[in-house]
Amino acid sequence: MTATAAENPLLEGLNVRPRPEPCTLVIFGASGDLTQRKLMPALYALAVRHLLPERFAIVGAARSDMSDEDFRERMKEAVQEFARDDFRQDVWDTLAEGMRYTTLVGSENQDEDSLGRLLDEVDRERATEGNHVYYFAVPPAAIAALVREVAARKSEKGWTRLIIEKPFGHDLDSARALNALLRERFDESEVFRIDHYLGKETVQNMLALRFANGIFEPIWNRQFIDHVQITVAESIGIEGRAAFYEHAGALRDVFQNHLLQLVALTAMEPPIDFTSESVRNEKVKVLRSLHTPGPKSVVRGQYGRGFVDGEEVPGYREEEGVSRDTGTETFVAAKLYVDNWRWADTPFYVRTGKRLARRETTIAIQFKRAPHPPFEEVAAEALRPNVLLIHVQPNEGMSLAIGAKAPGLGLSIRTVHMDFLYGSAFREGLPEAYERLILDAMLGDATLFTRADEIEEQWALVDAIAAPWQRDRPAFPNYAAGTWGPPSADDLVHRDGRSWRRH
């Protein structure tokens, strides 16, 4: 008898997705790190699963001088190093067949004709019908000129879509200006502002968890939930990005986008359906309801020298390219309130930082304690409240903490965890966020992308938080690398009789 692997019923229908229409993907910034580490590996993964259009091309565009063959070879090396799938020559050959490259020169005076002629040529050769997706993997300063160039060659022949990487502006005024430029030349349905966190499986599963399960939605409110904690922690430093990070800091780099998007998904009301506009309408309502925290409800920090994973690492001011007296924050914690009926007086404690104890992104929903636990005297330990812990990274899944009787003749209560991990439940490698987001943009599905009004609401809150920081100079550094941030972040929660979770 031949043994066969047991079928996993949870896998049924996982890869049933429509294929996009024929199109060309133009990557501005094709010689950069993002393209090599994320975009090309994502495209290769889509090719492995036959999810790319049948007629498809990739046009790389950057200031680096390369031939088509150089570009293909560099992208091949990137796929071999960073892709989640084993390298297959047949898949690569099919993908590389439609890859071309053009060199961009200048900023305001781009070589429009060169790119335009190449796209016309690719459209003819690959039969992509004039459908173009432009991926802006470039610094914010280069976006406006490229948007004008793309708008100038937009035609009625096919459709045009723009994928714009974060950061989208550096404050409310710059975000509004960029939105205005885009509105002048493109419809909102053609603009896809990417936040890769929204492409993660667990973040998407927040919608299913809340609205597909009758046991959660009735208790997802201030009457049953004591508070919410959201942590976006990184153990790495700035990884040579001093030029960017000195102007951004933790508030603009992560808080403005990733953290606030997680807050919005956690707190949003049920949408009337799961179309992009309905989902994003509810997220905007949350962002508009966020109460601007006062100075006592916000903590900022900057890491000093310390130890991460047993190795000594330099402080932020010792990083290459960083000013020795810089006031840039590498940590932010805040207590936020969503001023609506569902969440009135329920605090959302959020924090993000560099060089913290470990890399993790979690959403912890802590429920209120049972009003009269009859087991207090016989409990083996202090009974903890129920917590629904959602792991966004590195190990995607969720855990529910409940009280249960320990085995034995006596009555002894302990806290146990019911765990669900994607990897073990589905026995299927999880797609990278960029795979889902690139495919959605090709399909014209904007559900997991940020709308113009969302961006502006996020920046309005961030600007209000940062405004008082202009008047004082903090005593930095105030936490050691490898810890969970400055002591004042613990005080922020302790004042309310609570504490940060140490997962």
Please tell me the distance from the alpha carbon of residue 99 to that of residue 59, in angstroms, as a whole number: 6
Best CA proximity match to 92, nearest among 51, 40, 131: 40
| Domain ranges for the chain | 21-165, 198-432+451-494
For 483, the 3-state DSSP assignment is: strand
First to last CA, the chain: 46
Best CA proximity match to 129, nearest among 28, 214, 20, 204: 20
Percent of the chain with pLDDT over 70: 90
pLDDT digits (tens, 9 = 90+) for 237-283: 998 889 889 999 999 999 999 999 999 999 999 999 888 899 999 99
46 within 8 A of 437, measured Cβ to Cβ: no
Helices and strands (DSSP H and E) totals, the chain: 15, 19
Give the fold, CATH level 3, of 21-165. Answer: Rossmann fold (3.40.50)
Residue-level pLDDT, tens digit, the chain, 503 residues: 444 444 554 445 445 568 899 999 999 999 999 999 999 999 999 999 999 999 999 999 999 899 999 999 999 999 999 999 999 999 999 999 999 999 987 544 445 578 889 999 999 999 999 999 999 999 888 899 999 999 988 877 899 999 999 889 899 999 999 999 999 999 999 999 998 888 887 787 888 888 888 888 899 999 999 999 999 999 999 988 898 899 999 999 999 999 999 999 999 999 998 888 999 999 999 999 999 999 999 999 999 999 999 999 999 999 999 999 999 999 999 999 999 999 999 999 999 999 999 999 999 999 998 776 666 665 545 678 899 999 888 888 888 888 777 776 666 677 778 888 776 666 566 778 899 999 999 999 999 999 999 999 999 999 999 999 988 888 999 999 999 999 999 999 999 999 998 76
Best CA proximity match to 437, nearest among 164, 231, 206, 255: 164
Tokens coding 425: 């439940």
pLDDT digits (tens, 9 = 90+) for 20-57: 999 999 999 999 999 999 999 999 999 999 999 999 99
For 217, the 3-state DSSP assignment is: helix
Q: Out of 3.30.360.10, 3.40.50.300, 3.90.1150.10, 3.40.50.150, which CATH number does the structure's domain 198-432+451-494 have?
A: 3.30.360.10
Please tell me the distance from the alpha carbon of residue 296 to that of residue 492, in angstroms, as a whole number: 8
92 within 8 A of 79, measured Cβ to Cβ: yes
Query: Does this chain's domain 21-165 share its CATH topology with 198-432+451-494?
Result: no
383 within 8 A of 415, measured Cβ to Cβ: yes
| Residues with catalytic roles | 258
In angstroms, the Cα distances linking 398 to 162, 220, 324 are 34, 16, 41
